[in-house]
Structure 1
Amino acid sequence: MAYPSQVGPLAIAHRGGAGLAPENTLAAFARSTALGIRYLETDVRLTSDGQLACFHDESLDRVTSARGPVRHRTMAQLRRLGVGGEPIVTLTEALEAFPHSRFTVDLKEAAAIEPMARVLAQRSVGERVCVAGAWDGWLSRLRELAPHAHTALGWRSLTTLISCARAGVSAPRWVRTAEFAHVPVSLGRLPVFVDRLVDKAHAHGIRVIVWTVDDPTLMDRLLDAGVDGIITDRPDLLRENYIRRGIWEPMPTLTVEPIPRAAG
Protein backbone atom coordinates (compact mmCIF):
# COMPACT_ATOMS: atom_id res chain seq x y z
CA MET A 1 0.00 0.00 0.00
CA ALA A 2 2.89 2.42 0.71
CA TYR A 3 3.94 4.51 -2.27
CA PRO A 4 7.47 3.08 -2.78
CA SER A 5 6.50 -0.56 -2.18
CA GLN A 6 6.51 -1.64 -5.85
CA VAL A 7 9.92 -3.02 -6.81
CA GLY A 8 9.86 -2.81 -10.61
CA PRO A 9 9.57 0.32 -12.76
CA LEU A 10 6.54 2.42 -11.88
CA ALA A 11 3.95 3.25 -14.55
CA ILE A 12 2.48 6.63 -13.65
CA ALA A 13 -0.47 8.27 -15.42
CA HIS A 14 0.36 11.97 -15.95
CA ARG A 15 -2.53 14.22 -14.84
CA GLY A 16 -4.45 11.00 -14.47
CA GLY A 17 -3.83 10.03 -18.09
CA ALA A 18 -4.34 13.27 -19.98
CA GLY A 19 -4.05 11.57 -23.37
CA LEU A 20 -7.11 9.43 -22.65
CA ALA A 21 -9.55 11.74 -20.81
CA PRO A 22 -9.77 15.33 -19.52
CA GLU A 23 -6.72 15.96 -17.35
CA ASN A 24 -6.81 15.69 -13.56
CA THR A 25 -10.44 14.50 -13.50
CA LEU A 26 -12.05 11.42 -12.04
CA ALA A 27 -12.70 10.30 -15.62
CA ALA A 28 -8.96 10.27 -16.32
CA PHE A 29 -8.14 8.53 -13.05
CA ALA A 30 -10.85 5.94 -13.69
CA ARG A 31 -9.67 5.26 -17.25
CA SER A 32 -6.12 4.64 -16.06
CA THR A 33 -7.09 2.46 -13.12
CA ALA A 34 -9.34 0.44 -15.44
CA LEU A 35 -6.16 -0.33 -17.41
CA GLY A 36 -4.60 -1.60 -14.19
CA ILE A 37 -2.39 1.47 -13.57
CA ARG A 38 -1.44 1.66 -9.90
CA TYR A 39 0.08 5.16 -9.89
CA LEU A 40 -1.76 8.39 -10.72
CA GLU A 41 -0.12 11.81 -11.02
CA THR A 42 -2.01 15.04 -10.38
CA ASP A 43 -1.39 18.67 -9.48
CA VAL A 44 -2.95 20.81 -6.77
CA ARG A 45 -3.94 24.45 -6.69
CA LEU A 46 -5.35 26.26 -3.67
CA THR A 47 -8.84 27.71 -4.05
CA SER A 48 -10.09 30.94 -2.48
CA ASP A 49 -11.84 28.90 0.22
CA GLY A 50 -8.69 26.96 1.12
CA GLN A 51 -9.29 23.67 -0.69
CA LEU A 52 -6.82 21.72 -2.83
CA ALA A 53 -8.19 21.40 -6.35
CA CYS A 54 -6.77 18.83 -8.77
CA PHE A 55 -5.69 21.37 -11.38
CA HIS A 56 -2.40 22.05 -13.14
CA ASP A 57 -2.28 25.63 -14.38
CA GLU A 58 -2.19 28.78 -12.30
CA SER A 59 -4.84 30.17 -14.66
CA LEU A 60 -8.18 28.74 -15.74
CA ASP A 61 -7.72 29.91 -19.34
CA ARG A 62 -6.32 26.82 -21.08
CA VAL A 63 -8.75 24.09 -20.00
CA THR A 64 -11.95 25.87 -18.93
CA SER A 65 -14.31 28.44 -20.42
CA ALA A 66 -13.34 30.96 -17.72
CA ARG A 67 -10.33 33.21 -17.25
CA GLY A 68 -8.18 34.29 -14.34
CA PRO A 69 -6.30 32.61 -11.48
CA VAL A 70 -7.60 29.44 -9.86
CA ARG A 71 -6.96 30.98 -6.45
CA HIS A 72 -9.70 33.57 -7.05
CA ARG A 73 -12.42 30.90 -7.29
CA THR A 74 -14.11 28.78 -4.64
CA MET A 75 -14.17 25.02 -5.04
CA ALA A 76 -17.91 25.15 -5.80
CA GLN A 77 -17.25 27.63 -8.62
CA LEU A 78 -14.51 25.46 -10.07
CA ARG A 79 -16.69 22.39 -9.94
CA ARG A 80 -19.36 24.14 -12.00
CA LEU A 81 -16.75 25.12 -14.62
CA GLY A 82 -15.30 21.66 -15.09
CA VAL A 83 -12.68 20.46 -17.58
CA GLY A 84 -13.80 18.86 -20.83
CA GLY A 85 -17.27 18.27 -19.44
CA GLU A 86 -15.93 16.64 -16.26
CA PRO A 87 -16.11 18.27 -12.81
CA ILE A 88 -12.97 19.56 -11.12
CA VAL A 89 -12.47 17.67 -7.85
CA THR A 90 -10.45 18.11 -4.68
CA LEU A 91 -7.40 16.02 -3.88
CA THR A 92 -9.30 14.48 -0.97
CA GLU A 93 -12.12 13.43 -3.30
CA ALA A 94 -9.63 11.82 -5.69
CA LEU A 95 -7.89 9.97 -2.87
CA GLU A 96 -11.20 8.73 -1.50
CA ALA A 97 -12.50 7.71 -4.92
CA PHE A 98 -9.40 5.60 -5.59
CA PRO A 99 -8.42 4.18 -2.19
CA HIS A 100 -6.14 1.51 -3.67
CA SER A 101 -4.22 3.87 -5.97
CA ARG A 102 -0.99 5.65 -5.17
CA PHE A 103 -0.72 9.31 -6.05
CA THR A 104 2.12 11.54 -7.15
CA VAL A 105 1.09 15.11 -6.35
CA ASP A 106 2.82 18.21 -7.70
CA LEU A 107 2.70 20.97 -5.09
CA LYS A 108 2.34 24.16 -7.12
CA GLU A 109 2.43 26.88 -4.44
CA ALA A 110 3.77 27.50 -0.95
CA ALA A 111 0.33 28.39 0.39
CA ALA A 112 -0.74 24.81 -0.26
CA ILE A 113 1.84 23.26 2.10
CA GLU A 114 -0.24 23.27 5.27
CA PRO A 115 -3.50 22.23 3.55
CA MET A 116 -1.55 19.40 1.92
CA ALA A 117 -0.15 18.33 5.29
CA ARG A 118 -3.69 18.19 6.69
CA VAL A 119 -4.80 15.95 3.82
CA LEU A 120 -1.83 13.65 4.45
CA ALA A 121 -2.17 13.68 8.25
CA GLN A 122 -3.80 10.24 8.33
CA ARG A 123 -1.01 7.71 7.92
CA SER A 124 -3.00 5.43 5.62
CA VAL A 125 -3.37 8.38 3.23
CA GLY A 126 0.06 9.95 3.60
CA GLU A 127 1.91 6.70 2.98
CA ARG A 128 0.40 6.25 -0.49
CA VAL A 129 1.25 9.76 -1.69
CA CYS A 130 4.52 11.15 -3.03
CA VAL A 131 4.71 14.94 -3.20
CA ALA A 132 6.87 16.42 -5.96
CA GLY A 133 7.29 19.43 -8.23
CA ALA A 134 8.30 21.84 -5.46
CA TRP A 135 11.22 23.67 -3.88
CA ASP A 136 13.37 21.92 -1.28
CA GLY A 137 12.23 24.21 1.52
CA TRP A 138 8.57 23.55 0.77
CA LEU A 139 9.08 19.80 0.84
CA SER A 140 11.17 19.98 4.01
CA ARG A 141 8.35 21.86 5.73
CA LEU A 142 5.81 19.33 4.47
CA ARG A 143 7.86 16.45 5.88
CA GLU A 144 7.94 18.21 9.24
CA LEU A 145 4.16 18.49 9.24
CA ALA A 146 3.45 15.05 7.73
CA PRO A 147 6.52 12.88 8.46
CA HIS A 148 5.06 9.68 6.99
CA ALA A 149 4.50 11.27 3.56
CA HIS A 150 6.93 10.55 0.73
CA THR A 151 8.55 13.20 -1.45
CA ALA A 152 10.66 13.55 -4.56
CA LEU A 153 13.77 15.73 -4.65
CA GLY A 154 13.14 19.47 -4.53
CA TRP A 155 14.23 21.64 -7.44
CA ARG A 156 17.60 22.61 -5.89
CA SER A 157 18.60 19.03 -5.07
CA LEU A 158 17.38 17.79 -8.44
CA THR A 159 19.25 20.48 -10.38
CA THR A 160 22.44 19.64 -8.50
CA LEU A 161 22.07 15.90 -9.17
CA ILE A 162 21.44 16.48 -12.89
CA SER A 163 24.36 18.91 -13.19
CA CYS A 164 26.74 16.44 -11.55
CA ALA A 165 25.54 13.63 -13.82
CA ARG A 166 26.03 15.74 -16.94
CA ALA A 167 29.52 16.68 -15.77
CA GLY A 168 30.35 13.07 -14.93
CA VAL A 169 31.18 13.83 -11.30
CA SER A 170 29.82 12.47 -8.04
CA ALA A 171 26.94 14.37 -6.48
CA PRO A 172 27.33 15.69 -2.92
CA ARG A 173 25.72 13.67 -0.16
CA TRP A 174 23.26 16.42 0.75
CA VAL A 175 21.25 15.89 -2.47
CA ARG A 176 19.81 12.74 -0.89
CA THR A 177 16.80 14.61 0.53
CA ALA A 178 14.16 12.20 -0.79
CA GLU A 179 13.49 8.78 -2.25
CA PHE A 180 12.70 9.82 -5.81
CA ALA A 181 14.05 12.14 -8.49
CA HIS A 182 11.39 13.28 -10.96
CA VAL A 183 13.41 14.20 -14.03
CA PRO A 184 12.06 15.84 -17.20
CA VAL A 185 13.18 14.32 -20.48
CA SER A 186 13.73 17.86 -21.72
CA LEU A 187 12.81 21.47 -21.07
CA GLY A 188 11.70 22.88 -24.39
CA ARG A 189 14.41 21.86 -26.84
CA LEU A 190 17.03 21.42 -24.10
CA PRO A 191 17.65 17.75 -23.20
CA VAL A 192 17.74 17.17 -19.46
CA PHE A 193 17.85 13.42 -18.87
CA VAL A 194 21.18 11.67 -19.47
CA ASP A 195 21.72 7.93 -19.06
CA ARG A 196 24.46 8.26 -16.45
CA LEU A 197 22.01 10.10 -14.18
CA VAL A 198 20.56 6.72 -13.24
CA ASP A 199 23.84 5.42 -11.78
CA LYS A 200 24.53 8.73 -9.99
CA ALA A 201 21.07 8.70 -8.42
CA HIS A 202 21.16 5.02 -7.51
CA ALA A 203 24.49 5.58 -5.73
CA HIS A 204 22.52 7.77 -3.31
CA GLY A 205 19.57 5.39 -3.05
CA ILE A 206 17.40 7.66 -5.21
CA ARG A 207 14.97 6.18 -7.73
CA VAL A 208 14.70 8.00 -11.07
CA ILE A 209 11.26 8.76 -12.51
CA VAL A 210 11.19 10.44 -15.95
CA TRP A 211 8.44 12.68 -17.35
CA THR A 212 6.53 13.19 -19.62
CA VAL A 213 7.08 10.27 -22.03
CA ASP A 214 4.47 9.34 -24.63
CA ASP A 215 6.65 7.87 -27.39
CA PRO A 216 7.06 4.06 -27.21
CA THR A 217 10.59 4.18 -28.66
CA LEU A 218 11.69 6.63 -25.97
CA MET A 219 10.00 4.49 -23.32
CA ASP A 220 12.20 1.59 -24.44
CA ARG A 221 15.37 3.68 -24.36
CA LEU A 222 14.66 4.95 -20.85
CA LEU A 223 13.82 1.50 -19.49
CA ASP A 224 16.99 0.11 -21.09
CA ALA A 225 18.89 2.88 -19.28
CA GLY A 226 17.50 1.57 -15.98
CA VAL A 227 14.99 4.24 -14.96
CA ASP A 228 12.71 3.35 -12.07
CA GLY A 229 9.52 4.71 -13.56
CA ILE A 230 7.90 6.67 -16.35
CA ILE A 231 5.22 9.34 -16.18
CA THR A 232 3.06 9.43 -19.30
CA ASP A 233 -0.09 10.98 -20.78
CA ARG A 234 -0.59 7.64 -22.56
CA PRO A 235 -0.73 4.97 -19.88
CA ASP A 236 -2.26 2.60 -22.44
CA LEU A 237 0.97 2.68 -24.49
CA LEU A 238 3.17 2.37 -21.41
CA ARG A 239 1.11 -0.60 -20.23
CA GLU A 240 1.64 -2.32 -23.61
CA ASN A 241 5.38 -1.70 -23.28
CA TYR A 242 5.52 -3.18 -19.77
CA ILE A 243 3.48 -6.22 -20.84
CA ARG A 244 5.84 -6.82 -23.76
CA ARG A 245 8.82 -6.61 -21.40
CA GLY A 246 7.20 -8.90 -18.84
CA ILE A 247 7.32 -6.27 -16.07
CA TRP A 248 3.63 -5.34 -15.88
CA GLU A 249 2.16 -5.36 -12.35
CA PRO A 250 -1.52 -4.45 -12.65
CA MET A 251 -3.76 -3.47 -9.78
CA PRO A 252 -7.28 -4.91 -9.50
CA THR A 253 -9.80 -2.81 -11.44
CA LEU A 254 -12.36 -1.01 -9.30
CA THR A 255 -15.59 0.83 -9.95
CA VAL A 256 -15.69 4.50 -8.94
CA GLU A 257 -18.80 6.56 -8.30
CA PRO A 258 -18.57 9.96 -10.05
CA ILE A 259 -18.53 13.15 -8.02
CA PRO A 260 -21.84 14.88 -8.86
CA ARG A 261 -21.93 18.37 -10.32
CA ALA A 262 -22.95 21.14 -7.94
CA ALA A 263 -26.33 22.69 -8.68
CA GLY A 264 -26.47 26.05 -10.43
Structure 2
Amino acid sequence: MSTSTGRSGAPYGDEPGPLALAHRGGAGLAPENTYAAFALAAALGVRYLETDVRLTADGRLLCLHDARLDRTTDGRGRARDRTLEEVRRLRVTGGGLVPTLDEVLDAFPGSRIAVDVKDRAAVGPLVEAVARAGAAERVCVAGAWDGWLAQVRADLPGVRTALGWRALAALVTAARTGVRPHRTVATGEFAHVPWALVRRPAVLTRLVGMADGLGVRVAVWTVDDAPTMRHLLDAGVGAVVTDRPDVLREVLLSRGEWVVPAPGPARPRVRRAAAGG
Protein backbone atom coordinates (compact mmCIF):
# COMPACT_ATOMS: atom_id res chain seq x y z
CA MET A 1 0.00 0.00 0.00
CA SER A 2 1.55 3.28 -1.11
CA THR A 3 2.33 5.98 1.41
CA SER A 4 3.90 8.39 -1.05
CA THR A 5 3.45 12.08 -0.42
CA GLY A 6 3.73 12.73 -4.16
CA ARG A 7 4.28 16.42 -4.82
CA SER A 8 3.20 17.37 -1.31
CA GLY A 9 6.68 17.37 0.27
CA ALA A 10 7.08 16.61 3.97
CA PRO A 11 4.55 14.32 5.69
CA TYR A 12 1.64 15.73 7.68
CA GLY A 13 2.81 17.80 10.63
CA ASP A 14 6.53 17.61 9.90
CA GLU A 15 6.93 21.35 9.26
CA PRO A 16 8.35 23.50 12.05
CA GLY A 17 6.27 26.10 13.81
CA PRO A 18 2.53 26.28 14.51
CA LEU A 19 0.22 24.89 11.84
CA ALA A 20 -2.79 26.71 10.38
CA LEU A 21 -5.76 24.45 9.63
CA ALA A 22 -8.67 25.72 7.53
CA HIS A 23 -11.73 24.28 9.30
CA ARG A 24 -14.12 22.75 6.76
CA GLY A 25 -11.92 24.39 4.17
CA GLY A 26 -12.38 27.84 5.73
CA ALA A 27 -16.09 28.01 6.45
CA GLY A 28 -15.93 31.71 7.30
CA LEU A 29 -14.85 32.60 3.78
CA ALA A 30 -16.86 30.25 1.53
CA PRO A 31 -19.53 27.56 1.89
CA GLU A 32 -18.11 24.87 4.16
CA ASN A 33 -16.48 21.74 2.75
CA THR A 34 -16.75 22.92 -0.85
CA TYR A 35 -14.16 23.11 -3.58
CA ALA A 36 -14.44 26.92 -3.39
CA ALA A 37 -13.50 26.90 0.31
CA PHE A 38 -10.55 24.54 -0.14
CA ALA A 39 -9.27 26.47 -3.16
CA LEU A 40 -9.51 29.83 -1.37
CA ALA A 41 -7.59 28.51 1.65
CA ALA A 42 -4.92 27.04 -0.63
CA ALA A 43 -4.66 30.36 -2.49
CA LEU A 44 -3.99 32.09 0.84
CA GLY A 45 -1.05 29.74 1.31
CA VAL A 46 -2.76 27.59 3.93
CA ARG A 47 -1.26 24.13 3.51
CA TYR A 48 -3.55 22.31 5.98
CA LEU A 49 -7.21 21.73 5.13
CA GLU A 50 -9.72 20.12 7.49
CA THR A 51 -12.84 18.33 6.31
CA ASP A 52 -15.45 15.81 7.42
CA VAL A 53 -16.62 12.67 5.64
CA ARG A 54 -20.02 11.03 5.38
CA LEU A 55 -20.86 7.86 3.49
CA THR A 56 -23.42 7.70 0.69
CA ALA A 57 -25.77 4.78 0.06
CA ASP A 58 -23.39 3.48 -2.62
CA GLY A 59 -20.28 3.71 -0.45
CA ARG A 60 -18.76 7.01 -1.59
CA LEU A 61 -17.26 9.51 0.84
CA LEU A 62 -18.70 13.01 0.76
CA CYS A 63 -16.96 16.03 2.26
CA LEU A 64 -19.91 16.78 4.51
CA HIS A 65 -20.19 17.52 8.23
CA ASP A 66 -23.79 16.74 9.13
CA ALA A 67 -25.51 13.37 8.93
CA ARG A 68 -28.39 15.15 7.19
CA LEU A 69 -28.28 17.26 4.06
CA ASP A 70 -30.78 19.87 5.26
CA ARG A 71 -28.50 22.53 6.77
CA THR A 72 -25.87 22.82 4.04
CA THR A 73 -27.72 21.88 0.83
CA ASP A 74 -31.11 22.24 -0.79
CA GLY A 75 -31.72 18.53 -0.15
CA ARG A 76 -33.45 16.76 2.70
CA GLY A 77 -32.79 13.61 4.66
CA ARG A 78 -29.69 11.62 5.49
CA ALA A 79 -26.65 11.52 3.24
CA ARG A 80 -26.35 7.77 3.74
CA ASP A 81 -29.78 7.31 2.15
CA ARG A 82 -28.68 8.99 -1.11
CA THR A 83 -26.41 7.72 -3.86
CA LEU A 84 -23.58 9.90 -5.08
CA GLU A 85 -25.51 10.55 -8.29
CA GLU A 86 -28.44 11.84 -6.25
CA VAL A 87 -26.20 14.07 -4.13
CA ARG A 88 -24.70 15.52 -7.34
CA ARG A 89 -28.09 17.04 -8.13
CA LEU A 90 -28.12 19.08 -4.92
CA ARG A 91 -26.78 22.59 -4.48
CA VAL A 92 -24.84 23.70 -1.45
CA THR A 93 -26.35 26.69 0.34
CA GLY A 94 -24.29 29.64 -0.85
CA GLY A 95 -23.20 27.95 -4.08
CA GLY A 96 -21.40 24.90 -5.35
CA LEU A 97 -21.91 21.19 -4.94
CA VAL A 98 -20.69 18.57 -2.49
CA PRO A 99 -17.27 17.13 -3.44
CA THR A 100 -16.01 13.66 -2.60
CA LEU A 101 -12.89 13.00 -0.58
CA ASP A 102 -11.30 11.37 -3.63
CA GLU A 103 -11.76 14.59 -5.59
CA VAL A 104 -10.31 16.80 -2.87
CA LEU A 105 -7.25 14.58 -2.40
CA ASP A 106 -6.68 14.65 -6.15
CA ALA A 107 -7.33 18.37 -6.66
CA PHE A 108 -5.03 19.55 -3.84
CA PRO A 109 -1.85 17.45 -4.06
CA GLY A 110 0.17 20.10 -2.22
CA SER A 111 -2.18 20.17 0.76
CA ARG A 112 -2.32 18.09 3.90
CA ILE A 113 -5.81 16.98 4.82
CA ALA A 114 -7.23 16.44 8.31
CA VAL A 115 -10.26 14.17 8.00
CA ASP A 116 -12.93 13.88 10.69
CA VAL A 117 -14.64 10.48 10.46
CA LYS A 118 -18.28 10.73 11.47
CA ASP A 119 -19.31 7.05 11.57
CA ARG A 120 -17.65 3.65 11.75
CA ALA A 121 -18.98 2.53 8.36
CA ALA A 122 -16.86 5.25 6.74
CA VAL A 123 -13.55 3.90 8.10
CA GLY A 124 -13.03 1.21 5.44
CA PRO A 125 -13.91 3.48 2.49
CA LEU A 126 -11.67 6.19 3.98
CA VAL A 127 -8.70 3.81 4.11
CA GLU A 128 -9.38 2.79 0.50
CA ALA A 129 -9.69 6.39 -0.73
CA VAL A 130 -6.46 7.53 0.92
CA ALA A 131 -4.61 4.44 -0.34
CA ARG A 132 -5.89 5.02 -3.90
CA ALA A 133 -4.52 8.55 -3.79
CA GLY A 134 -1.20 7.42 -2.31
CA ALA A 135 -1.83 10.11 0.28
CA ALA A 136 -1.37 8.37 3.64
CA GLU A 137 1.56 10.51 4.74
CA ARG A 138 -0.28 13.77 4.06
CA VAL A 139 -3.47 12.81 5.89
CA CYS A 140 -4.41 12.98 9.57
CA VAL A 141 -7.56 11.13 10.64
CA ALA A 142 -9.42 12.61 13.61
CA GLY A 143 -12.78 13.12 15.25
CA ALA A 144 -13.37 9.45 15.98
CA TRP A 145 -13.39 6.77 18.64
CA ASP A 146 -10.11 5.14 19.60
CA GLY A 147 -10.93 1.77 18.02
CA TRP A 148 -11.75 3.33 14.66
CA LEU A 149 -8.43 5.16 14.64
CA ALA A 150 -6.55 2.00 15.61
CA GLN A 151 -8.03 0.35 12.53
CA VAL A 152 -6.93 3.27 10.35
CA ARG A 153 -3.37 3.10 11.69
CA ALA A 154 -3.21 -0.65 11.13
CA ASP A 155 -4.49 -0.43 7.55
CA LEU A 156 -2.67 2.75 6.44
CA PRO A 157 1.05 2.75 7.26
CA GLY A 158 2.37 6.30 7.47
CA VAL A 159 -0.96 7.96 8.22
CA ARG A 160 -1.20 10.42 11.13
CA THR A 161 -4.06 10.31 13.59
CA ALA A 162 -5.38 12.48 16.38
CA LEU A 163 -6.21 11.03 19.78
CA GLY A 164 -9.52 9.21 19.93
CA TRP A 165 -12.27 10.56 22.14
CA ARG A 166 -11.37 8.31 25.09
CA ALA A 167 -7.66 9.17 25.01
CA LEU A 168 -8.45 12.85 24.55
CA ALA A 169 -10.79 12.82 27.55
CA ALA A 170 -8.02 11.26 29.65
CA LEU A 171 -5.55 13.94 28.56
CA VAL A 172 -7.97 16.80 29.27
CA THR A 173 -8.83 15.30 32.67
CA ALA A 174 -5.13 15.10 33.48
CA ALA A 175 -4.69 18.75 32.54
CA ARG A 176 -7.59 19.77 34.76
CA THR A 177 -6.44 17.77 37.77
CA GLY A 178 -2.69 18.16 37.34
CA VAL A 179 -2.19 14.38 37.51
CA ARG A 180 0.32 13.22 34.90
CA PRO A 181 -1.36 11.05 32.23
CA HIS A 182 -0.15 7.54 31.44
CA ARG A 183 1.94 7.21 28.28
CA THR A 184 -0.70 4.92 26.77
CA VAL A 185 -2.78 8.06 26.19
CA ALA A 186 -0.47 8.95 23.29
CA THR A 187 -2.27 6.91 20.63
CA GLY A 188 -1.81 9.53 17.91
CA GLU A 189 0.43 12.40 16.86
CA PHE A 190 -2.15 15.15 17.51
CA ALA A 191 -4.73 16.10 20.12
CA HIS A 192 -7.63 17.99 18.54
CA VAL A 193 -9.06 19.90 21.50
CA PRO A 194 -12.21 22.08 21.54
CA TRP A 195 -11.40 25.62 22.66
CA ALA A 196 -14.19 25.45 25.25
CA LEU A 197 -12.26 22.77 27.17
CA VAL A 198 -9.08 24.82 27.57
CA ARG A 199 -10.38 28.34 28.21
CA ARG A 200 -8.80 28.35 31.68
CA PRO A 201 -5.16 29.42 31.23
CA ALA A 202 -3.87 26.92 33.80
CA VAL A 203 -5.61 24.04 32.04
CA LEU A 204 -4.26 25.13 28.65
CA THR A 205 -0.71 25.45 29.98
CA ARG A 206 -0.80 22.03 31.63
CA LEU A 207 -2.39 20.41 28.59
CA VAL A 208 0.28 21.71 26.22
CA GLY A 209 3.05 20.70 28.61
CA MET A 210 1.66 17.21 29.16
CA ALA A 211 1.04 16.68 25.44
CA ASP A 212 4.56 17.83 24.59
CA GLY A 213 5.93 15.34 27.10
CA LEU A 214 4.04 12.58 25.29
CA GLY A 215 5.15 13.70 21.84
CA VAL A 216 1.63 14.84 20.98
CA ARG A 217 0.93 18.14 19.21
CA VAL A 218 -2.09 20.12 20.43
CA ALA A 219 -4.49 21.54 17.84
CA VAL A 220 -7.26 23.75 19.24
CA TRP A 221 -10.58 24.24 17.41
CA THR A 222 -12.49 26.31 16.32
CA VAL A 223 -10.96 29.77 16.88
CA ASP A 224 -11.77 32.71 14.61
CA ASP A 225 -10.61 35.86 16.43
CA ALA A 226 -7.06 37.20 16.47
CA PRO A 227 -6.71 37.76 20.26
CA THR A 228 -7.59 34.15 21.06
CA MET A 229 -5.30 32.91 18.30
CA ARG A 230 -2.43 34.91 19.80
CA HIS A 231 -3.26 33.59 23.28
CA LEU A 232 -3.10 29.99 22.05
CA LEU A 233 0.12 30.55 20.15
CA ASP A 234 1.70 32.20 23.21
CA ALA A 235 0.75 29.08 25.18
CA GLY A 236 2.63 26.91 22.70
CA VAL A 237 -0.15 25.06 20.89
CA GLY A 238 1.04 23.24 17.80
CA ALA A 239 -1.90 24.13 15.57
CA VAL A 240 -4.95 26.37 15.39
CA VAL A 241 -8.08 25.23 13.56
CA THR A 242 -10.14 28.12 12.19
CA ASP A 243 -13.02 29.10 9.93
CA ARG A 244 -11.02 32.27 9.19
CA PRO A 245 -7.67 31.18 7.76
CA ASP A 246 -7.17 34.72 6.47
CA VAL A 247 -7.16 36.06 10.05
CA LEU A 248 -4.85 33.32 11.29
CA ARG A 249 -2.48 33.94 8.40
CA GLU A 250 -2.16 37.61 9.38
CA VAL A 251 -1.58 36.69 13.03
CA LEU A 252 1.18 34.25 12.11
CA LEU A 253 2.74 36.74 9.70
CA SER A 254 2.81 39.41 12.42
CA ARG A 255 4.65 36.98 14.71
CA GLY A 256 7.12 35.84 12.07
CA GLU A 257 5.66 32.33 12.27
CA TRP A 258 4.17 32.01 8.80
CA VAL A 259 6.96 29.71 7.69
CA VAL A 260 5.18 27.26 5.40
CA PRO A 261 5.51 28.29 1.73
CA ALA A 262 2.37 28.55 -0.33
CA PRO A 263 1.58 25.37 -2.28
CA GLY A 264 1.23 25.32 -6.03
CA PRO A 265 -2.19 25.89 -7.57
CA ALA A 266 -4.80 23.21 -7.17
CA ARG A 267 -5.29 20.90 -10.10
CA PRO A 268 -8.79 21.64 -11.43
CA ARG A 269 -9.68 17.97 -11.63
CA VAL A 270 -12.71 17.93 -9.37
CA ARG A 271 -15.66 16.88 -11.49
CA ARG A 272 -17.66 19.81 -12.78
CA ALA A 273 -20.57 18.90 -10.52
CA ALA A 274 -18.42 19.24 -7.43
CA ALA A 275 -16.71 22.43 -8.53
CA GLY A 276 -19.82 24.35 -9.47
CA GLY A 277 -19.81 27.89 -8.17
Residues 211 and 123 of structure 1: is their aligned pair in 2 closer, same or farther, counting only changes over 3 Å?
same
Structure 1 residue aligned with 2:50? 41
The amino acid that maps onto 1:62 is: R
- 1:64 is aligned to 2:78: no
Structure 2 residue aligned with 1:54? 63
Deviates more, 1:56-65 or 1:40-49: 56-65
Alignment of 1:75-86 (within 5 A): 75-83=84-92, 84-86=94-96
The amino acid that maps onto 2:212 is: H
Residues 176 and 255 of structure 1: is their aligned pair in 2 closer, same or farther, counting only changes over 3 Å?
closer
- 1:145 is aligned to 2:155: yes
Q: CA RMSD in A?
A: 1.6
2:216 to 206, 218, 224: 206
For residues 197-232 of structure 1, the C-alpha deviation after alignment (integer angstroms, 9 at most, x for no partner) is 000100100000000000100000000000001000
For residues 101-141 of structure 1, the C-alpha deviation after alignment (integer angstroms, 9 at most, x for no partner) is 00000000000111011112258411100000000000001
Structure 2 residue aligned with 1:19? 28
Q: CA deviation at 1:191?
A: 4.6
List gaps (5 residues or longer) in structure 2.
Answer: 1-8
Structure 1 residue aligned with 2:227? 217
2:38 to 7, 11, 29: 29
- 1:261 is aligned to 2:273: yes
- 1:252 is aligned to 2:263: yes
Structure 1 residue aligned with 2:191? 181
Identity of aligned residues (%): 55
Residues 205 and 123 of structure 1: is their aligned pair in 2 closer, same or farther, counting only changes over 3 Å?
farther
Structure 2 residue aligned with 1:3? 12
| Aligned length, in residue pairs | 260
- Kindly indicate whether the alpha-carbon contact (under 8 Å) linking 1:123 and 1:148 is maintained by their aligned counterparts in 2: no
Structure 1 residue aligned with 2:253? 243
Query: Counterpart of 1:209 in 2: which secondary structure?
Result: strand
Q: CA deviation at 1:82?
A: 2.7
Alignment of 1:164-179 (within 5 A): 164-179=174-189
For residues 136-190 of structure 1, the C-alpha deviation after alignment (integer angstroms, 9 at most, x for no partner) is 0000011111122110000000000000011011001110101100000016xx9
What is the TM-score with the length of structure 2 in the denominator?
0.90
- Kindly indicate whether the alpha-carbon contact (under 8 Å) linking 2:106 and 2:133 is maintained by their aligned counterparts in 1: no
List gaps (5 residues or longer) in structure 1.
Answer: none
For residues 19-51 of structure 1, the C-alpha deviation after alignment (integer angstroms, 9 at most, x for no partner) is 001110110000000000000000000000100
The amino acid that maps onto 1:69 is: R
What is the TM-score with the length of structure 1 in the denominator?
0.94
2:101 to 91, 96, 106: 91
Residues 142 and 255 of structure 1: is their aligned pair in 2 closer, same or farther, counting only changes over 3 Å?
closer
Alignment of 1:96-175 (within 5 A): 96-122=106-132, 124-175=134-185
